[in-house]
Amino acid sequence: MASPSSALVNPLDDPGAVAVAGLLLVILNRLTALGLPLSALIAVMIGLGLAQLRSRRRGRGERLRDSRVAAGIEAALQRASQLALQAERLSAEAVARFQDTSHLEPLAVVQLCCERLRGLPERIAQRRPLLESGGGILLSVDDLQRRLDRAREELRLEASATLKGERQRLVDQLQRNLDAARSGMDAREARLLALSTRLEQIDGGLRHLQQQVDAQWPSSKATDAAVAGAIAPLDAALEQIDRLLDAGKDAGP
């Protein structure tokens, strides 16, 4: 059985090849003495050859993207595993440092966040089919530009400080998506870039939370607000990863 790359390609599936064949037919028929039947035959053969060549090039490009996607998924799984280990160590340290019952609530918040982080590698592995899907679907530059313009206008008009932060994150996501689209990324590569970005944000957030735990506990002057403030960026990044893995397109790079 012929491989997909060697199978005969229908030139009608390639508008570019059809356009070239049509232009060549007009040129041969009007500027040469070949006649319409021979000119048509030559144009069809050249159109078919061009469609076949372009199909093979697309196939090579898709295989290259497939290999990049596979490597990107493995890198995300490895990074998530590293973060899970960091979270496990931090959780154990927080428990060891805990001494005052007044700190019970912030300790519970730290424990819950670390538990979510420990489950991240399994969550990504479960959603691997999603991360592998969407091959060849290129991001639309025009659509993303319209969404970015609209998001920027909504950010400008937003009065709530809390919602303003959320809208700023959306603007940043859409800008990264737009940059990815302009560089020719397909949907899978853009999704993995988004995931990688969130994982690095979690790494920075874990380091900050570690500093807060070291500074706050054990201490009678520890503040719940300092711990809650350190947890908030981690919770936000985890929520964005959840949306990305569940919806596949709601979170951008």
Q: What confidence tens digit (pLDDT) does each residue in 7-61 have?
A: 555 555 566 666 766 776 677 667 776 767 777 777 777 777 776 776 666 556 5
Q: What stretches of the chain show up as alpha helix (H) in DSSP?
A: 15-31, 36-97, 104-118, 120-126, 128-132, 141-157, 161-182, 187-216, 224-247
User: Percentage of the chain surpassing pLDDT 70?
Assistant: 72
Q: pLDDT tens digits for 150-190?
A: 889 988 887 777 667 767 877 887 888 788 778 777 778 87
Give the pLDDT confidence score for residue 164 in this predicted structure: 76
Tokens linked to 184: 């020719």
Is the entire prediction scored with pTM above 0.85?
no
pLDDT tens digit sequence for 118-160: 999 999 999 888 888 765 556 678 888 888 898 899 888 877 7
What are the φ/ψ torsions at residue 186 (nearest 5 degrees)? -90, 180
CB 104, CB 225: distance < 8 Å: no
- Tell me whether residue 135 is in a domain: yes
Tell me if 154 is assigned to some domain: yes
Measured N-to-C along each axis, helices 187-216 and 161-182 cross at an angle, to the nearest 10 degrees, of 140
- Is residue 53 one of the residues assigned to a domain? no
Q: Let me know: does 120 contact 241? Beta carbons within 8 Å.
A: yes
SS3 state of residue 186? strand
> Does residue 88 fall inside a structural domain?
yes
**Average pLDDT of 199-206?**
87
pLDDT confidence band for 84 (50 / 70 / 90): very high
Average pLDDT, the chain: 77
State the Rg of the chain over Cα: 27
Residue 42 lies in a domain: no
Q: Is residue 72 part of a domain?
A: yes
Rounded Cα distance between 134 and 244, Å, is: 14
Of 202 and 46, the one with more pLDDT: 202
Domain count, the chain: 1
Q: Which domain holds residue 90?
A: 68-247
Q: Is residue 181 part of a domain?
A: yes
pLDDT-derived band at 250 (thresholds 50, 70, 90) equals very low
Residue 145 lies in a domain: yes
Label residue 114 by pLDDT band (50, 70, 90): very high
130-140: b (≥16 Cβ within 10 Å) or e: bbeebeeeebe
